[in-house]
Amino acid sequence: LRVEWVDSHSGKGWTDLEQIEASATLLHIVSVGWVIAENKDHLVLCSTLSDVQGTGDISIPKCSIRKRTFLRQVSRKGARHG
């Protein structure tokens, strides 16, 4: 699954209020991974899986998700699956 979502961020150290206001923006993030869990509040993706373990997991609040794109699995030989 490819997920486009927005995230918050913070500045570094003491900054003039005008600069903070001028640079106030959300970060636009794209994450790709296997769906491990989902409920009404969040979506959990994992970028790398073995038979029994995963790594690169991220929990994304559903209120932050802007777009989902389902990806097709392609084998190494180029044959499409599912």
Name the pLDDT band for 63 (thresholds 50, 70, 90). very high
Instruction: List the beta strands (DSSP E) in 1-82.
Output: 2-7, 27-32, 34-38, 42-49, 54-61, 65-69, 73-74, 80-81
Average pLDDT of every residue of the chain: 90
Res 81 pLDDT > 80:
no
Residue-level pLDDT at 12: 83
Q: Are 37 and 60 in contact (CB under 8 A)?
A: no
Q: Are 47 and 55 in contact (CB under 8 A)?
A: yes
Q: Are 23 and 9 in contact (CB under 8 A)?
A: no
Q: Please give the model's pTM, rounded to 2 decimal places.
A: 0.79
Residue-level pLDDT at 77: 63
Cβ count within 10 A of residue 3: 20
